[in-house]
Amino acid sequence: MALKDDLQTAVAAIFADKWSKRDGTVVPGENSLTLGNDGIDIEATVLYADISDSTKLVDTHKHFFSAEVYKAFLRCAARIIRDNGGSITAYDGDRVMAVYVGDMKNSSAARTALKINWCCKSLIQPALKKQYPDEGYVLHHTVGIDTSTMRVAAAGIRGANDLVWIGRAPNWAAKLCTLPHDYSTWITKAVYDKLEDKSKLATDGRNMWEARSWTAMDNNTIYRSNFWWPL
């Protein structure tokens, strides 16, 4: 009964306690928040990068091969994220989440996505084929990006807690990652409208982004791209 009593007390306190909140301008760290109703509100852009069809990958290949694909993708994505000003906030299997802040957060996140696309096609896939010339596996991925105000809070229990990101951007960015990998990058209109020309237009002046109607999300306008940005 002790566990039940402890949880009843904890849940009641979560719903009853007032929030202590403040505005943030940098990505919070794991020690920035307590486990109480303590929150930081932040304007930020969220990027999710995800291997497509990873369930099929692990179901049809040896564990060592799947692990190598995971590691190669996540290593490259993480390095590109950091090199373009993003902060890595979580890994989840074959997926990485990153947060960008500042005046250029949307352009930086979009540039990250295009560089990840180049890396998958021009670096990881050739290396995979060189090591495994008889292997027919082709790495596909998706990147989803959205921007909004979010509340960051610590959740879990003492010694086993993590930051949670509550708001539209993390939710929509994650959902964008489930869209078809025929187009590797998906962004919301809120992101597109803030892009600098360099992150919007190719060197020949073509718009790198194509508008679509997101029927599953009340026909919101989103943009997709198959362009890449060489490292």
Query: What CATH number has the domain bearing residue 87?
Result: 3.30.70.1230
pTM of the model: 0.95
Mean pLDDT of 39-55: 96
Give domain status of residue 6, yes or no. no
- State residue 179's pLDDT score: 95
Residue 1 pLDDT greater than 70, yes or no: no
Give domain status of residue 181, yes or no. yes
What is the b/e burial string over 121-151, where b = at least 16 CB atoms within 10 angstroms of the residue's CB?
beebbeebeeeeeeeebebbbbbbbbbbebe
Q: 42 forms bridges with which residues in the sheet?
A: 24, 150
The H or E element that residue 95 is part of is strand 95-100
Count of domains for the chain: 1
Q: Which domain holds residue 177?
A: 21-225
Phi and psi (nearest 5°) for 192?
Answer: -55, -40
Give domain status of residue 162, yes or no. yes
Give domain status of residue 49, yes or no. yes
Phi and psi (nearest 5°) for 29?
Answer: -100, 175
- State residue 9's pLDDT score: 92
Give domain status of residue 41, yes or no. yes
* Mean pLDDT, rounded, of the chain: 95
Give domain status of residue 7, yes or no. no
Give domain status of residue 40, yes or no. yes
